[in-house]
Amino acid sequence: MKNEYLPIKAVIEKVIVESPDAKTFILRPIDKTNHMLKHKPGQFVMLSLAGYGEAPFTYASSPIKDGVFQISVRRVGILTHALHQLKEKDIVGVRGPYGNTFPLAKIKNKDILFIAGGCGMAPLRPLIQYVFKNRKDYGRIEIIYGCRSPKDIFYKEEIKSWANNPNSSVHLTVDEPDQAWGGTCGVVCILLPKIKVNPKTSLVFLCGPGVMIKFAIKDILKLGFKENNIYASLERYMKCGIGKCGHCYIKGKYVCLDGPNFSYAQMKELGIDS
Ligand SMILES: Cc1cc2nc3c(=O)[nH]c(=O)nc-3n(C[C@H](O)[C@H](O)[C@H](O)COP(=O)(O)OP(=O)(O)OC[C@H]3O[C@@H](n4cnc5c(N)ncnc54)[C@H](O)[C@@H]3O)c2cc1C
Ligand code: FES
């Protein structure tokens, strides 16, 4: 019988420093036929390192053909600290893809607003890449991204290229500007007056710290966005990632199976404010 907990090996092909406490790992599964590479935007992977444990990380890249995928890891504790010591050619364990995907059929021909905070840009990036790859299928695209400081902005070069797409804008804000920063300062919500999408018909995707999600949802509801058009990617403690251990269970739902992406209407049913 197949052991669902058994990871496959993946080689670290490249390590990219995103910020003082975050790195992106480009991973190449050794078994090229493995379904790890057939993920959809919004899903996550369980990544393990012998002696340090296993944890969920969202795919930070759209499915691509050359046999690699990316994850971006913020250093917070034992496993993530150990991951940050790894170099090219080192091996990690991966299993997945797990979790639900963003509602790809629902966003077709719609305006879309993305709101990310800090490393919350990682889960949204595959969807943003997907939308820009199929640009003609979508309306106006607005991206709001807030970080602690300019040093903490992920995917800097790629973000510049997003702003060059037609009918699209990227708005950045930081809490603590440095001398070179000429942009907006403050929380993501102060950028909402700049967005030019129709709240009645647009979809919103949010990911970031719980407090950011909470206050951003309050403000976008005031602008007239509909509860079932607002989606947030949630982080809850997970052990198995496959609906067996119950660690992520809330009111009849497993965040690892039914989520991690929920509409605000679903979040309210689950009693989750953020
Ligand atoms: C679906 C999902 C997707 C995720 N995607 C990413 C990602 O793309 N990049 C990324 O950097 N992190 C992501 N995380 C969080 C990541 O799993 C944790 O940071 C990781 O488990 C920390 O392991 P550690 O051993 O380094 O930290 P630990 O030593 O276990 O803990 C260090 C600190 O982090 C806190 N922490 C640990 N796990 C979580 C968690 N799940 N949620 C909130 N706080 C936690 C602990 O309370 C503690 O304060 C995701 C979590 C989930 C549930
Ligand atoms: S993490 Fe085990 S049931 Fe969801």
Q: Is the CB of 72 under 6 A from ligand 1?
A: yes
Residue 189 in any domain: the answer is yes
User: Same domain for 68 and 156?
Assistant: no
User: 161: how many CB neighbours lie within 10 A of its CB?
Assistant: 11
What number is the average pLDDT over the span 129-158?
97
Separation of CA 118 and ligand 1 centre (Å): 14
Residue 227 confidence (pLDDT) above 90: yes
Find the ligand nearest to 259 CA.
1
User: Same domain for 90 and 117?
Assistant: no
- pTM of the complete model: 0.95
| pLDDT for the residue 65 | 65
Residue 250 confidence (pLDDT) above 80: yes
Which protein residue has the closest C-alpha to ligand 1 atom 3?
57
5-36 pLDDT per residue, tens: 999 999 999 999 999 999 999 999 998 777 88
What number is the average pLDDT over the span 120-139?
96
Residue 1 confidence (pLDDT) above 90: no
In the listed set 49, 64, 97, which residue is the last one of a domain according to the structure?
Answer: 97
User: Same domain for 50 and 128?
Assistant: no
Which CATH number characterizes residue 24's domain?
2.40.30.10
Q: How confident is the model at residue 221 (pLDDT cuts 50, 70, 90)?
A: very high
Q: Is the CB of 152 under 6 A from ligand 1?
A: no
Number of domains in the chain: 2
| pLDDT for the residue 236 | 86
Rounded Cα–Cα distance for residues 50 and 96 (Å): 17
What number is the average pLDDT over the span 147-153?
98
Residue 235 confidence (pLDDT) above 80: yes
Rounded Cα–Cα distance for residues 236 and 21 (Å): 21
44-69 pLDDT per residue, tens: 999 999 999 999 999 999 886 678 99
User: Same domain for 133 and 72?
Assistant: no
DSSP state string for 116-140: EEGGGHHHHHHHHHHHHHTGGG---
Residue 1 in any domain: the answer is no
Which protein residue has the closest C-alpha to ligand 1 atom 27?
77
Using only C-alpha atoms, the chain has a radius of gyration, in whole angstroms, of: 18
Nearest ligand 2 atom to the CA of 254 is 4
Find the ligand nearest to 247 CA.
2
Tell me the C-alpha to C-alpha distance, in Å, between residue 123 and each of 8, 51, 114, 223, 229: 22, 27, 11, 24, 18
Which CATH number characterizes residue 172's domain?
3.40.50.80
User: Same domain for 91 and 117?
Assistant: no
Report the mean per-residue pLDDT for the chain: 94
User: Same domain for 174 and 248?
Assistant: yes
Separation of CA 114 and ligand 1 centre (Å): 22
Q: How confident is the model at residue 273 (pLDDT cuts 50, 70, 90)?
A: low
Residue 83 confidence (pLDDT) above 70: yes
Which protein residue has the closest C-alpha to ligand 2 atom 3?
243
Residue 129 in any domain: the answer is yes
User: Same domain for 12 and 74?
Assistant: yes
- At 274 the three-state DSSP class reads coil
Residue 234 in any domain: the answer is yes
User: Same domain for 84 and 123?
Assistant: no
| pLDDT for the residue 157 | 95
In the listed set 39, 74, 97, which residue is the last one of a domain according to the structure?
Answer: 97
User: Same domain for 89 and 219?
Assistant: no
Find the ligand nearest to 250 CA.
2
Q: How confident is the model at residue 102 (pLDDT cuts 50, 70, 90)?
A: very high
Residue 101 confidence (pLDDT) above 60: yes
Q: Which domain holds residue 64?
A: 8-97
Residue 107 in any domain: the answer is no
Separation of CA 88 and ligand 2 centre (Å): 31
Residue 274 confidence (pLDDT) above 60: no
Q: Is the CB of 246 under 6 A from ligand 2?
A: yes
User: Same domain for 12 and 138?
Assistant: no
155-178 pLDDT per residue, tens: 999 999 999 999 999 999 999 999
User: Same domain for 89 and 134?
Assistant: no
Among 196, 204, 193, 191, CA closest to 145: 191
In the listed set 97, 120, 150, which residue is the last one of a domain according to the structure?
Answer: 97
Residue 3 in any domain: the answer is no
Residue 105 in any domain: the answer is no
193-211 pLDDT per residue, tens: 999 989 988 999 999 999 9
Residue 274 in any domain: the answer is no
Which protein residue has the closest C-alpha to ligand 1 atom 37?
237
Share of the chain above pLDDT 90, in %: 89
The highest-confidence range among 15-19, 35-39, 248-252, by mean pLDDT, is 15-19
User: Same domain for 263 and 140?
Assistant: yes
User: 221: how many CB neighbours lie within 10 A of its CB?
Assistant: 15
